[in-house]
């Protein structure tokens, strides 16, 4: 019934930025806890890890760069998850989802991850070092 009333108004759900930030912060905390739990579970999956290592060794023996092979697998898995997510959004949810996605993207643009911050700092340091090396002055 709420969906009908919502569809009749045809206004996207524009979230309050403070509420979105609080919810996203809580979500991030839960995800960190989940990753910690996954780490404990992975410790119990030694046989699977050994099988993966054998596959990587075979890939390397056949001339395939194992690091690139692993990145290919990861990208393929992420692509599948994104496709499944996109297909799960109903027509009546698109406007709300886009508003939330834009709010999250704006927040993330203002608050880069620690890894992104470090990569940016390293890139700048490398560029500065290159400039110092190549500058004839």
- Contact between 56 and 70 under an 8 Å Cβ cutoff? The reply is yes
Over the stretch 19-57, which tens digit does the pLDDT of each residue have?
A: 989 999 999 999 999 988 888 787 778 888 889 999 999
137 vs 96: CA distance, rounded Å: 56
- Contact between 98 and 11 under an 8 Å Cβ cutoff? The reply is no
Over the stretch 92-111, which tens digit does the pLDDT of each residue have?
A: 898 999 899 899 888 877 77
Helix/strand/coil percent split, the chain, to 5: 85, 0, 15
Prediction pTM value = 0.44
Over the stretch 69-88, which tens digit does the pLDDT of each residue have?
A: 999 999 999 999 999 998 89
> What percent of the chain shows pLDDT beyond 70?
82
Whether residue 137 has pLDDT greater than 60 = no
CB atoms within 10 A of CB 60: 13
- CA nearest to 10, candidates 95, 67, 81: 95
């Amino acid at each position: 019934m709420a969906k009908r009333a919502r569809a009749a108004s045809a206004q996207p759900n524009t979230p309050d930025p403070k509420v979105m930030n609080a919810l996203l912060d809580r979500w991030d905390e839960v995800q960190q806890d989940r990753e910690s739990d996954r780490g404990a579970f992975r410790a119990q999956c030694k046989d699977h890890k050994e099988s993966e290592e054998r596959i990587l060794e075979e890939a390397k023996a056949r001339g395939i760069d194992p690091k690139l092979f692993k990145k290919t697998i990861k990208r393929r898995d992420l692509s599948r998850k994104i496709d499944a997510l996109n297909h799960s959004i109903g027509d009546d949810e698109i406007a709300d989802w886009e508003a939330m996605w834009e709010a999250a993207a704006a927040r993330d643009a203002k608050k880069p991850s620690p890894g992104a911050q470090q990569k940016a700092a390293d890139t700048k340091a490398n560029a500065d070092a290159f400039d110092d090396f190549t500058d004839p002055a």
